[in-house]
Structure 1
Amino acid sequence: MTIFQKLHTFRFRLPAYFSCPSKSQRLAEAEGRIFTALGIRYLARLIQIPFKNTEISTVTVNCEQPSTQTKYPIVLIHGFGAGVALWGSAIKRLAQFQTVHAFDLPGFGRSSRPKFSTDPETAETEMIDSIEQWRDKMNLEKMNLVGHSFGGYLATSYALKYPGRVENLVLADPWGFNEMDPEMMPKLTSRQKSIFWIIQQFNPLAVLRLAGGYGPTLMKRLRPDLALKYSEDVYDYIYLANSKNPTGEMVFKCLSENLGWAKQPMSKRFHELDNTVPVTFIHGERSWIDWKNTRTMFGELDHVESHVMESAGHHVYADDADKFAELVIGSLKEGKSKIGKKPTVIVAEDDVVTPL
């Protein structure tokens, strides 16, 4: 073979030689591997909504024999930096009770990355209206809305604006309910204040993106426990879900105060929620969220119920998926019938019930 023939052959091999799956394709594959490992049969699709022609990545798991105790599906809203696949174990259990829809918030996971407003109130409205547009496109009359962490904050904001679309509101260790202590910053050392200042200059997951191909390895070192709750695929999934244009991450930063608190905390707004919407809090006893304060603020409302999972931290749905699903299903079975009853706090691990 002459040198010219070799060059000709190599030229036609170039595309195959250099081709590799895109990050979007790799993310879809990682998502699929997580669901497949759990034995979940699911439908994945992109739902286009009017807001900037955004596509919302949606996973649906149909219930073979839906419960007659609620005719509305369960809709899951993930937390910051997460995506639909992290609900996996919970979805498998919840879908035995009712059909489950889980979607990636715009700006996260496999959904489009639209540019949001930099004004906190406007950005929150854009995110909430995106959820409403998704509901409309899905032809859902009402939803049993379940939100974790940042997703719990957004689910509450959605219920405040669209209470008629929410049959039950379940808040899994929600972020953004407590106000930042005004006396905290003055008590910090100069070094601690410097750290807070540095944090505010960057998007929360910028380091993960800067790590590039080492991102999954970095995730594994930071969170070795995740492999026990999912599989090794979870590290690729989380990295790839957060490696694209971080527009959702920017919304979170826009709405937050030093990341740990919300600029417009639900402590100032929750009492405005229509009291015909049953609300269930599910906290992890070992969580960094100040659930005791949240429970004190809202526990006396007659449409609110509070559960504490002793076996769980912040990720209640993954730390003990069986108990979490049991609590969610129990709250949906009771539904509006629990409104007006004497409020209680339920310690889920021991089934101990104590009056507030």
Structure 2
Amino acid sequence: MITKTTGYVSAHLQIQPLIRFRHKRFMASYEAAPPIKTSTLQAKIFKKAWNTSEEFKRSTLKMWSTHLRGVEFTKAQLELYQKKLMSNIEIGGSMDNIITAHGINQWHFHNDNVLKIDIKTPVLLIHGYASSSMSFFRNVSHLSQHCKDLFAIDLPSNGLSERSSLKVTPFDVSIFGQSEDINNCTQLKITRLPDDEKVQRCIEEHEDYYLEAIEQWRLDNAIDKFHLVGHSFGGYLSYKYALKYPHAVNKLCLISPLGMERNLLSMSSNHWKLGEIIDKDFHDPMSDRYCRKLNIPKYVFENQLKILRWGGPMGARLCWNYITSAYSRVPSLDFKEYMFELFYGKGGISPIARTIFVNLFTRNLLARAPIMDTLDQLKVEDMLLCYGQHDWMNRRAGQLAVQTLNKGNYTPARYLQIPQAGHNLFLDNPDCFNVALTSFLKD
């Protein structure tokens, strides 16, 4: 049942749960979780960074001084912790790690036990921004016991995959148009219109850097059709891949995807007129006037984790504190060490990955080409949108997307909320997530 109020859909949303689990802790309920105020996201990040927990205490000077070396040192450390993480995992079947012919760091888990296999279609796991295939280390043990072929990869220029060059049309950021906040940031005044043709070309070229790499990975592994599972930015890319290559994707699972919401700075909102004053909508993610109160400073957004390295010993300390706090539900010290190398190590987050992210999203962390704009074009067998109970992503956008897909008879879609979990829900509550994903992907 959906109740409408003036200006936006609100109130009560009841969506069929994905699975009726026997134990109530597995039940998905939109009403069960309190709303997350995205305007406090920056405060939460700084709070995590200033965490003073003694549980994983490290020498500040040592963390800093050992990372004065270059990219090769960071790569060696990532290889070391990757090996540590995977060596302690019990796998159903065999485990193989290679660099593919086109430079992708790939993990392949193969299981020939036909009596236990529930999922015969190959499954690919795609990580989010500032992450890698290691983010799924708490999931591959369970999934490998139910999947005949399970894959997890580092996207190009991420993790241990090769830093392939980015060939895009040169452009100035002004092609996206310009605007200024007025009236205490409740309104936006358009001061320069976007160059639609260049913006569209820019978005396509940046997305294709990853989409074509995923397609080449499919061809390298001689896979006809596969299930695609993507988290956060990886969820955004997974959706865009399914849109571009519908013949290759069977089922699609988006885990707390970035870029879901429509917004007033997206390509679809290019009907504004020069000098027009727009009232922002902070509530309805389906509105072309939608905007988040979150607004990352331009300098921070464009430089991101480089700022930590510029901060000397204090930057190393803040980085370690943030990781131990943000991944507090993950008991593995090796994983925290791995993430520290990825965040703080030189070249851990490559300039190419950073450039693509900055050009595809706004400083409000909203997409220039939102998922919601093309829901009517999606053609997969089934789709699952999955969020954490304490997720900072807009869960309501996920609910409304599922409703739109089902109402329009575009693609069957389901919504699931994982309890006791945040944005990294598959790390925070792997048991619940693993069961849910396996049930969704079953043949």
TM-score where L is the length of structure 2: 0.63
Secondary structure of 2:131's aligned partner: coil
Partner of 1:92: 141
What secondary structure does 1:42 align onto? strand
Name whichever structure is richer in helix by fraction. 1
Q: 1:281 is matched by which residue type in structure 2?
A: L
Percent identical residues: 25
> How do 1:169-248 residues align onto structure 2 when only pairs under 5 Å count?
169-180=252-263, 183=280, 196-200=297-301, 202-210=302-310, 217-225=317-325, 226=327, 228-242=329-343, 243-244=346-347, 245-248=350-353
RMSD: 2.9
Please state how far the C-alpha of 1:176 moved relative to its aligned partner.
0.7
Deviates more, 1:95-104 or 1:251-260: 251-260
TM-score (norm. length: structure 1): 0.78
Q: Does residue 292 in structure 1 map to residue 342 in structure 2?
A: no
Match of 1:123 among 198, 203, 206: 206
Q: Could you say which residue in structure 1 is the equivalent of 2:89? A: 38
Partner of 2:227: helix, strand, or coil? Answer: strand
SS of 2:158's equivalent in the other structure is coil
In the alignment, the residues of structure 2 paired with residue 92 and residue 328 of structure 1 have an alpha-carbon distance, to the nearest angstrom, of 13
Structure 1 pair 220/162, CA: closer, same or farther in 2 (3 Å)? same
Q: Does 1:65 align with 2:113?
A: yes
Question: 1:265, 1:306 → 2: CA distance?
Answer: 19
Note the C-alpha offset of 1:332: 1.1
Kindly provide the CA deviation profile for residues 105-129 of structure 1, in whole angstroms up to 9, marking residues without a partner as x.
Answer: 1111001112323622211022101
**More displaced, 76-85 or 202-211?**
202-211
Distance change (3 Å), C-alpha of 1:210 and 1:60:
farther
Partner of 2:419: 310
Q: Is the 8 A contact 1:163 1:277 kept in 2?
A: no
Which amino acid letter does the alignment assign opposite residue 233 of structure 1?
D
Q: Hey, what's the Cα distance between the residues in 1 that align with 2:386 and 2:127? A: 14
Equivalenced residue count is: 307
Distance 1:318 1:63 in 2: 23
Q: 2:365 matched to which residue of 1?
A: 260
Instruction: In structure 1, give the amino acid aligned to 2:393.
Output: I
Checking the alignment, whether the CA contact within 8 Å between 2:230 and 2:238 is kept in structure 1 is yes
CA contact (8 A) 1:204 1:253 kept: no
Which residue identity does 1:92 align to in structure 2?
A: S
What is the rounded CA distance, in whole Å, between the counterparts of 2:331 and 2:108 in structure 1? Answer: 19
Unaligned runs of 5+ in 2: 1-68, 170-201, 265-278, 283-288, 407-411
Contact 2:375 2:405 in 1 (8 A): no
Q: Please list every run of 5 or more consecutive structure 1 residues that lacks an aligned counterpart in the other structure.
A: 1-17, 50-54, 336-356
Asked if the contact 2:385–2:402 (Cα under 8 Å) also holds between the matched residues in 1, the reply is no
SS, match of residue 96 in structure 1: helix
Distance 1:46 1:187, change over 3 A: closer
The aligned counterpart of 2:51 is: none
* Residue 77 of structure 1: aligned partner: 126
C-alpha distance after superposition, 1:132-153 (max 9, x if no partner)? 0011001111111100000000
